[in-house]
Amino acid sequence: MTIFLAYFDCAGADIEGVETAAPTCRLRDGLYLVQTDETRSKIYHRIKRHLAPDAGLLMAPLADAPKFKGMEPGALKWVRAVFE
């Protein structure tokens, strides 16, 4: 299982409706954590097809829990549960 940090700059879009076959955690607009057994390429292309054609998208695997502040309520609890 890999956790990816997904960032995109498509105003008003989200990936909640994308069939990621994996749990996601919204950190804030355009910033998500995605937990999946799929490869980075597969999950990247699935999200890319969901977004507007000109949206920027970044997918990066995380080796450890990220440090963060000021994200959506419940995000820290999700991260701690996943990385335990």
Q: Is the pLDDT of residue 1 over 80?
A: yes
Give all domains of the chain, ordered by start, each with its CATH number.
Answer: 2-82 (3.30.70)
| The predicted structure's pLDDT at residue 60 | 96
Where are the alpha helices (H) located in the chain, listed in sequence order?
40-50, 75-82
Query: Smallest Cα–Cα separation from 57: which of 10, 2, 4, 3?
Result: 10
pLDDT tens-digit profile of 15-73? 776 766 567 888 988 899 998 888 999 989 988 888 877 788 999 999 998 999 999 99
pTM for the model stands at 0.83
Q: Nearest CA to 2 among 51, 64, 47, 75?
A: 64
Can you read off the two tokens belonging to residue 44?
């990247």
